[in-house]
């Protein structure tokens, strides 16, 4: 199998890479296993220094790396450069704060010297998507390395250049041989890698289907896994909200990364009292977006990552319309070979339509009308997904109810949902389980070990002079 790097804006093939053979996979697993036994005993300060140097390289070369992301998967070049800078900030966070996250946690115990230790697991396989080709791997990699784990990256098959570049950056940052390696393999190779006894755990960001497959394999071999899957995030707007700001943010939240983000707002649930005004303003904002070359700084909406993805999105729209959904703007695809898809707004969406229950991975906003707060919560929770939510209200009591009642991994009030290294990130229901980022994400891939020491002689056990 050949992995192809294709510019979605032009259809041009940029590079081709041969998939790793079974022998090459074995060699990388062997190197990772050997490196794990050394890296876990490397002082945490040295591990953090490697991550700090990786962050410095990401920041220094963010323009070059941003251009690579844009060419390979079509994100706006400004957003791609910002992604590299965000990766640098995450590395800095873990280089600075990560060592304290690995320290034993003392536990009050009158009869023992007791603490909880956080030991690395070993080799962790990371299966990552194409939509944030640097941020997705780095938000796992930085905490994993500081914690003392080593990593194997199976990146999406359409971003091989980004995968290889990240490996090269880690090597330049001083990561020893085998501590971080890229596997150029297709999804068919994943079950065998998960089954390998040298792999201790798995993390996956991807589709619901991919999550079920990986969880099945991980369960079969009794291995820890963290899953960050799809989302159909609600964006709830109440009458007390700043409507102009909510509309402006709604357009940005729906079209971030050309609409290809698991935490992009997708379902806009608006109180009946302001629904007409919101729909009008939101539609105007979506129509006004400048579509074009993602390398051009004035472009506001670029292509999807491939023409195939545009076709799949369009089929979801067509099936929804056939069942009664109404297209307010967009929804047409004049060139079926193109990866570009127009900014689209749907409303009057019936419960049996794909736009109601499925994740739409592209610039398509679905507007729903709620009678009151209770109805807004009902609609928001009427989804098998539960990743994140954005709620817009100036009423403190309403804010408290949304925070308490929404079934999501995070709730943002009067703001757009974003990921941030300081806070745990992940979802519930079919959006997956486990958490990335913060101290919680670092400790996901550690052996959380309880230690209780009783000194029979009455001396302070474990002390050294």
84, 405 Cβ separation under 8 angstroms: no
Supply the pLDDT for residue 457.
62
How far is Cα of residue 96 from the mean position of the Cα atoms in its chain? 22
Q: Which of 165, 262, 359, 366 is catalytic?
A: 262
Q: Which of 72, 83, 167, 228 is catalytic?
A: 228
Question: Does residue 262 carry a catalytic annotation?
Answer: yes
Which residue in this structure is represented by tokens 């006894």?
197
So what's the architecture of 233-413 in CATH?
3-Layer(aba) Sandwich (3.40)
Supply the pLDDT for residue 455.
83
Q: In the chain, how many H helices and how many E strands? A: 15, 20
pLDDT digits (tens), the chain, 465 positions:
899 999 999 999 999 999 999 999 999 999 999 999 999 999 999 999 999 999 999 999 999 999 999 999 999 999 999 999 999 999 999 999 999 999 999 999 999 999 999 999 999 999 999 999 999 999 999 999 999 999 999 999 999 999 999 999 999 999 999 999 999 999 999 999 999 999 999 999 999 999 999 999 999 999 999 999 999 999 999 999 999 999 999 999 999 999 999 999 999 999 999 999 999 999 999 999 999 999 999 999 999 999 999 999 999 999 999 999 999 999 999 899 999 999 999 999 999 999 999 999 999 999 999 999 999 999 999 999 999 999 999 999 999 999 999 999 999 999 999 999 999 999 999 999 999 999 999 999 999 999 999 987 654 444 433
- The DSSP bridge partners found for residue 433 are 227
**DSSP one-letter code for 289:** P
The burial of 46, by beta-carbon neighbours within 10 Å (0-12 exposed, 13-18 middle, 19 or more buried), is given as exposed
Residues of the chain with CATH 3.40.605.10: 2-229+431-451
Pairing between β-strand 150-154 and β-strand 180-182 as defined by DSSP bridges: parallel
Supply the pLDDT for residue 41.
98
Dihedral angle over CA of 236, 238, 241, 242, nearest 10: 80
Q: Coil, helix or strand for 114?
A: strand
Q: Which of 197, 201, 141, 199 is nearest to 171 (CA)?
A: 141
At 242, list the tokens. 């700043």
Residues of the chain with CATH 3.40.309.10: 233-413
Question: Does residue 228 carry a catalytic annotation?
Answer: yes
At 31, list the tokens. 């190197």
Q: Identify the CATH class of 2-229+431-451.
A: alpha beta
**DSSP one-letter code for 272:** G
Supply the pLDDT for residue 1.
81
Please state, as a whole number, how many other Cβ atoms lie within 10 Å of the Cβ of residue 387.
29
**DSSP one-letter code for 324:** T
Query: CB-based contacts of 41: which residues, under 8 Å, 6+ apart?
Result: none
């Amino acid at each position: 199998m050949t992995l192809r790097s294709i510019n979605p804006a032009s259809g041009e093939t940029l590079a081709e890479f041969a998939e790793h053979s079974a022998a090459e996979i074995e060699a990388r697993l062997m190197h990772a296993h050997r490196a794990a036994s050394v890296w876990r005993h490397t002082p945490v300060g040295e591990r953090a220094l490697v991550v700090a140097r990786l962050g410095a390289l990401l920041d220094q070369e963010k323009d070059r790396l941003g251009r690579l992301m844009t060419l390979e998967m079509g994100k706006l070049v400004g957003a791609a450069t910002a992604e590299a800078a965000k990766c640098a900030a995450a590395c800095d966070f873990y280089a600075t704060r990560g060592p304290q996250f690995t320290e034993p946690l003392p536990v009050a115990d009158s009869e023992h010297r007791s603490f909880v230790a956080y030991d690395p697991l070993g080799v962790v396989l990371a299966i990552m998507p194409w939509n944030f080709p640097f941020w997705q791997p780095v938000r796992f990699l930085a905490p994993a390395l500081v914690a003392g784990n080593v990593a194997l990256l199976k990146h999406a098959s359409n971003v091989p250049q980004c995968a290889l570049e990240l490996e090269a950056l880690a090597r330049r940052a001083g990561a020893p041989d085998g501590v971080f390696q890229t596997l150029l393999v297709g999804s068919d190779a994943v079950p065998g890698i998960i089954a390998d006894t040298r792999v201790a755990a798995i993390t996956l960001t991807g589709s619901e289907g991919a999550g079920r497959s990986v969880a099945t394999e991980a369960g079969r071999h009794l291995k820890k896994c963290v899953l960050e899957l799809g989302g159909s995030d609600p964006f709830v707007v109440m009458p007390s909200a700043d409507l102009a700001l909510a509309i402006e943010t709604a357009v940005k939240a729906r079209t971030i990364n050309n609409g290809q983000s698991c935490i992009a707002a997708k379902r806009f649930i608006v109180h009946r009292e302001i629904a007409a005004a919101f729909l009008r303003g939101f539609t105007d904002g979506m129509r006004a977006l400048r579509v074009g070359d993602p390398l051009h700084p004035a472009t506001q909406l670029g292509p999807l990552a491939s023409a195939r993805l545009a076709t799949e999105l369009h089929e979801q729209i067509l099936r929804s319309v056939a069942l009664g959904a109404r297209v307010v703007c967009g929804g047409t695809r004049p060139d079926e070979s193109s990866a570009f898809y127009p900014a689209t707004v749907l409303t009057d969406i019936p419960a049996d339509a794909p736009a109601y229950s499925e994740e739409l991975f592209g610039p398509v906003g679905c507007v729903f009308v709620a009678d009151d707060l209770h109805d807004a919560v009902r609609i928001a929770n009427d989804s098998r997904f539960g990743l994140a939510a954005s709620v817009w209200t100036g009423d403190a009591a309403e804010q408290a109810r949304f925070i308490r009642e929404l079934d999501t991994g995070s709730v943002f009030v009067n703001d757009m949902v974003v990921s941030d290294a300081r806070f745990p990130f992940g979802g519930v229901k079919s959006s997956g389980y486990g958490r990335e980022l913060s101290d919680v994400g670092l400790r996901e891939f550690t052996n959380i070990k309880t230690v209780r020491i009783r000194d029979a002689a009455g001396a302070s056990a474990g002390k050294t002079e």
